[in-house]
Amino acid sequence: MAQRVLITAGAAGIGKEIASAYAAIGAKVCICDINQKALDEAAREIPGLKTIFCDVSKRDEIEQMVAEAAATLDGLDVLVNNAGISGETAPVEASDSDQWEAVIKVDVIGTFHVTRCAIPHLKKSAAGSIIVMSSLGGRFGYPNRSAYCTAKMGLIGFAKTLSRELGQYNIRVNAIAPGAVAGDRIERVLQGRASAERKTVDEARAATMSLQSLKQFVDPKDIAALILFLTSGSGKSISGQVLPIDNDAQTSA
């Protein structure tokens, strides 16, 4: 039976790579996103993809989205909690309180509500699996990135707690912790870091690479491949884990 997969923030970037990878192996895939144009483009590019507009900072939209996704897919086997925002790059004392709280609302509270709504459907699966998207920032603190690191560290605790709660229903839960991932997002992060630290973007990039044994950004396709492995039969004995995919970085973006 084809896996039934829901991916949040699946219309672009890492989320779109994950959706494409699942579709390529014959899974039934539904994505949600806040960008309707990107949803439409993804639907044209990925055969059979189902799409739903949803702002994961809004509980009522989440509840409607998960119910619609489960109905569209005729159940749910895999939930990939990919939605998240980075917030500003600024020291704590100079942080914008509204932006700080927005990161927590999307990254942590949004993930909580999506998961809460998905659990009853996952319990009906013979092999339910949840992926929580943390970050290298969930393992290390970064200067000037307090909201992001707080959210990503909190998501690790959430994933580990879920694994203990849901194991009795044969639902596996794992967090993954990417390092600096190739794409537009890391370029914005580097620009913000350079500004906060009064460096050039090239200097910020060099500082990031200096902390990695493999001198390249992570390929989003590799993140998708890791998630497919974890949620497949090959990963049936893996739960409650945090798996880095970071080019052996000690601290990074």
Q: Does the annotation count 22 as an active-site position?
A: no
Classify residue 201: in a domain, yes or no. no
Structure confidence at residue 202 as a pLDDT band (50, 70, 90):
confident
Question: What is the number of domains present in the chain?
Answer: 1
- Inter-CA distances, 151 with 21, 58, 62, 160, Å: 27, 17, 19, 14
Does residue 204 form part of some domain? no
Which pTM does this prediction carry?
0.91
Q: Please tell me the predicted confidence (pLDDT) of residue 207.
A: 77
**What does the alpha-carbon distance between residue 253 and residue 142 come to, in Å, rounded to a whole number?**
8
Segments forming the whole domain that contains residue 12: 4-181+219-245
Closest CA to 102 of 59, 151, 141, 60: 151
Q: What is the CATH number of the domain that holds 139?
A: 3.40.50.720
Q: What is the mean pLDDT of residues 100-124?
A: 98
pLDDT reading at 253 higher than 80: no
**Residue 18 included in any domain:** yes
In a domain, 17, yes or no: yes
List pLDDT tens digits, range 184-200: 777 777 787 788 788 88
